[in-house]
Amino acid sequence: MAEVKLLRCRECAKEYQPSLKYVCEECFGPLDVVYDYEKISLRREDFSERPKSIWRYFELLPIANSSNIVNLEAGYTPLQKSVRLAEQIGLKELYIKNDTVNPTYSFKDRPAGIGVSKAVELQLDAVGCASTGNLAGATAAYAARAGIPCFVFIPHDIEKAKVTQALAYGAKILSIEGTYDDANRLAAQAAEAYRLGIVNINMRPYYTEGSKTLALEVSEQLGWQAPDHVIIPVGSGAMLHSICKGFEELVTIGLLDEVKTKITAAQPSGCAPIVDAFKRGETEVTPVESPNTIAKSLAIGEPGDGFYALKKIREYRGYADDATNQEIIEAVLLLARTEGIFAEPAGGVPIAVLKKLVEDGKIDRNEKVVCYVTGNGLKTPELLTEDLPTPSIVKPEVRALAPLIQR
Amino acid sequence: MAEVKLLRCRECAKEYQPSLKYVCEECFGPLDVVYDYEKISLRREDFSERPKSIWRYFELLPIANSSNIVNLEAGYTPLQKSVRLAEQIGLKELYIKNDTVNPTYSFKDRPAGIGVSKAVELQLDAVGCASTGNLAGATAAYAARAGIPCFVFIPHDIEKAKVTQALAYGAKILSIEGTYDDANRLAAQAAEAYRLGIVNINMRPYYTEGSKTLALEVSEQLGWQAPDHVIIPVGSGAMLHSICKGFEELVTIGLLDEVKTKITAAQPSGCAPIVDAFKRGETEVTPVESPNTIAKSLAIGEPGDGFYALKKIREYRGYADDATNQEIIEAVLLLARTEGIFAEPAGGVPIAVLKKLVEDGKIDRNEKVVCYVTGNGLKTPELLTEDLPTPSIVKPEVRALAPLIQR
């Protein structure tokens, strides 16, 4: 297992001993996990006997003692070579990283799994998160598996149905009389006051390490080669930043020779602050006050890692573009009908943006592209109802079928 | 890949060349796939480099040419060692086979994946099924991936929402003016009249081979050892029968030394014809006219393989028992809260029955038990609503949290 060497401020590079700290004392910058890379000696062939989960990369994950791992076998999800979708979009080689099949049915298993494991390692006896969606479900499931309480902070105007999955795992839902910001602020205060491991707040440096495995797995699944271009759905920007860290660490420890990958961000039109900043050539992200999109898991108006995501997109010579609700639904259906993968709207966003960028000539048809699809369509079936055909009513006679079955 | 040697009638043992035949001409018995077992030379160590999907067992699957495989990487799902659940139930060693994380979110990926692949191999240019649930979604997804049409036969009084997932994958839904039986009968006629591969009808001998992988995987995941006892949710009885075939074939080809496993069937109380027959000591199954249970995927009143399932349960010295709706919901929540696995009601059935059999002393606490959990809770969240607590409303002040967070 990997000892975390230190936490380092992403802004001023000040270093800290690993702890519950998540913000730099000097400049309020976010802290990142740093390992003792020189001590990591890993060869490609070492992986053949390892578990098919995120834990196959334990040297690059921030848990020191394997007995602290809270394991639902997340990760190592299929990287599906998508011939039919590639044809439709006009690409030669396209892969879908299918994170709809994680244990709680979104990519959030990765960061939440690490966050809860680290909370156990730090001997916190309860965890939580501020979330109304995939993260609530994931954190609650890992807490259940660990046998510790989970507190989910949500604004009080969210319907109970949104948190059914988290409730089923036994999480305690705290419905805060206030806005999303109030819920977040209160979660941060509670983390300190009651020694809770709020995975996306005070566990954040460890938590974000989980998303990094999306880069490690794709590289390994392509035969230890980084793709030419990746398309990443972006909410807070944390996942995009972590994916970059993953590619970079693989080069550092010698498992990848180089990374020439272009990194492109995809956001929904109703909440695209990073895309807007990219298109305007700005380095700062202007918050979106009232996000309005069907891709709820990407509806983060003030993206915590927006500044850094933007920086990475430019460093990696990618693009940023957005997709409207209608484009998102069409993309969800296109993905389902060509590849048999059923995604939530957030999963349609990168497909729609990819299509657009190929049409615009910004992505060359010879590029080897990976598209990240991060959440499950069963979470939001009602969004599709209008766009799906009505079943044909048929008399129970075999000849009545002829016109319908003709092909 | 495996050439099917022949199809053999389960009743009279008459043998047929592999084809689209699925019923014996002599006695109307079902046909089973037989391989040339003597030609299969497989050692345990051969598996280390194989794909983590059902296709790792290709010598025991009925597809001759690998180019015909329609692959969404189903199978090799987690066998989760369940310490917390075991404690609650009073067992020493319990494993959950978690099939909620298959590509279409139920075990039906296994038979449907094989059924559609075989349809491609037989050069049928369209597939289908008679189903309103998990099978409709699975068949539609594999058809999408293969790029061939999929026809789903359902009775006309089923709401569109039930088939959203299948519609999303692009299946054509045929809403038959009649009962479930009419839909089934029409699907069988259509299979012949229009050369369709109806996976659970004329592809059935091949289709059921898919469920066999549930035995192969569990054996391998336990280090090539069969468990002492398996608890299987039962609808038609086909999956139970296939799991037995899987264990038997592993012994035949020498990958298992022996199988002393007890095989127990679990059904919902509102539709438990196999349990009823078992308890009455009968060999024939009396159909249930109006199934009435929340475990819809097990609501098969006239189980096609009921007779054979019953025979296997007795041969393998297991039990059969049922669970009420309330017991099912409690079991779903118990599983979620101890293990972080979110199952549909059908997944709660074997947990509830296991609990009962341990309480009754029919399962010894020293037995190594595997429980099959075959479908995803996101498909039926509304069933839990009443049983889930209402979120606590809290003022946005950290001290207001104290009574709620106390632990």
The per-residue pLDDT for range B267-301, each reduced to its tens digit, is 999 999 999 999 999 999 999 999 999 999 999 99
- Answer whether B54's CB lies under 8 Å from B74's CB: yes
Q: What is the mean pLDDT of residues A353-369?
A: 97
Question: How far B6 CA sits from the closest chain A CA (Å)?
Answer: 30
Residue B296: other Cβ atoms inside 10 A:
22
Bridge partners, residue B259, by sequence: none
Of B107, B277, B278, B123, the residue nearest B208 (C-alpha): B107
Looking at A61-75, A355-369, B38-52, B305-319, which range is the least confident one?
B38-52
Give the DSSP H or E segment for A281: none
Whether the per-residue pLDDT at A132 is higher than 90: the answer is: no
- Residue B398 CA, chain-centre distance (Å), reads 48
Whether the per-residue pLDDT at B407 is higher than 70: the answer is: no
Q: What is the mean pLDDT of residues B40-68?
A: 95
The average confidence (pLDDT) of chain A is 95
| pLDDT value of position A227 | 98
Bridge partners, residue A173, by sequence: A152
pLDDT of A147-169, one tens digit each? 999 999 998 888 777 899 999 99
| pLDDT value of position A407 | 65
pLDDT of B113-144, one tens digit each? 999 999 999 999 999 999 878 999 999 999 99
HSE-up (13 A, CA, CB side) for residue B91 = 28
Closest Cβ–Cβ partner in B141, B176, B376 for A394: B176
Question: How far B159 CA sits from the closest chain A CA (Å)?
Answer: 10
Contact status of A45 with chain B (Cβ, < 8 Å) = no
For the whole model, what pTM was predicted?
A: 0.96
Contact status of A155 with chain B (Cβ, < 8 Å) = no
Which residues fall within 8 angstroms of residue B241, CB to CB, at 6 or more apart? B208, B305, B308, B309, B312
Mutate to test the interface with A, among B48, B344, B401, B404 (most CBs of A within 10 A): B401
| pLDDT value of position A338 | 98
Bridge partners, residue A35, by sequence: A4
| pLDDT value of position A177 | 93
| pLDDT value of position B179 | 84
Q: In terms of CATH architecture, what is B79-105+205-387?
A: 3-Layer(aba) Sandwich (3.40)
Q: What is the mean pLDDT of residues B307-321?
A: 98
Burial class (CB in 10 A: 0-12, 13-18, 19+), B13: exposed
Residues of A in contact with B176 (CB under 8 A): 394-396
Whether the per-residue pLDDT at A1 is higher than 70: the answer is: no
| pLDDT value of position B207 | 98
| pLDDT value of position B245 | 98
pLDDT of A248-275, one tens digit each? 999 999 999 999 999 999 999 999 999 9
| pLDDT value of position A226 | 98
Quickly tell me which residue has 């207001």 as its tokens: B400
Q: Which residue of A has its CA nearest to B128?
A: A405
pLDDT of A67-106, one tens digit each? 999 999 999 999 999 999 999 999 999 999 999 999 999 9
Q: Which residue of B has its CA nearest to A377?
A: B165
Quickly tell me which residue has 């293969």 as its tokens: B146
| pLDDT value of position A363 | 97
Mutate to test the interface with B, among A44, A132, A398, A399 (most CBs of B within 10 A): A398
Question: How far A330 CA sits from the closest chain B CA (Å)?
Answer: 10
Whether the per-residue pLDDT at A309 is higher than 70: the answer is: yes
Whether the per-residue pLDDT at B172 is higher than 70: the answer is: yes
In angstroms, the CA A53 to CA A60 distance is 13
Residues of A in contact with B172 (CB under 8 A): 392, 404
Looking at A63-67, B175-179, B233-237, which range is the least confident one?
B175-179
Mutate to test the interface with B, among A217, A378, A379, A395 (most CBs of B within 10 A): A378
In angstroms, the CA A343 to CA B321 distance is 37
Question: How far B311 CA sits from the closest chain A CA (Å)?
Answer: 35
Looking at A15-19, B5-9, B185-189, B388-392, which range is the least confident one?
B388-392
Confidence at B226, pLDDT banded by 50, 70, 90: very high
How far, CA to CA in Å, does A287 sit from each of A269, A277, A313, B344? 13, 10, 18, 40
| pLDDT value of position A178 | 87
| pLDDT value of position A251 | 98
In angstroms, the CA B323 to CA A132 distance is 33
Whether the per-residue pLDDT at B84 is higher than 70: the answer is: yes
Are B340 and A142 inside 8 Å of each other by CB? Answer: yes
Reduced to 3 states (helix: H, G, I; strand: E, B; else coil), residue B160 is helix
pLDDT of B337-360, one tens digit each? 999 999 999 999 999 999 999 999
Residues above pLDDT 70, as percent of chain A = 100
Are A160 and B338 inside 8 Å of each other by CB? Answer: no
| Residue, of B233 and A184, whose pLDDT is higher | B233
Contact status of A35 with chain B (Cβ, < 8 Å) = no
| pLDDT value of position A157 | 81
Question: How far B84 CA sits from the closest chain A CA (Å)?
Answer: 8
HSE-up (13 A, CA, CB side) for residue A317 = 8
| pLDDT value of position B3 | 83
Question: How far A297 CA sits from the closest chain B CA (Å)?
Answer: 17
In angstroms, the CA B100 to CA A299 distance is 27
What residue type is A319 in one-letter code? Answer: Y
Interface of A with B in 184-223 (CB under 8 A): 185-186, 189-190, 193-194, 196
Are A170 and B337 inside 8 Å of each other by CB? Answer: yes
Q: What is the dihedral of CA A175, A177, A181, A185, to 10 degrees?
A: -80
Residues of B in contact with A392 (CB under 8 A): 172-175
Question: How far A366 CA sits from the closest chain B CA (Å)?
Answer: 22
Q: What is the CATH topology of the domain spanning A79-105+208-387?
A: Rossmann fold (3.40.50)
Residue B368: other Cβ atoms inside 10 A:
17
- Answer whether A159's CB lies under 8 Å from A132's CB: no
Closest Cβ–Cβ partner in A125, A182, A342 for B168: A342
Contact status of A176 with chain B (Cβ, < 8 Å) = yes
- Where are the domains positioned within chain B? 79-105+205-387
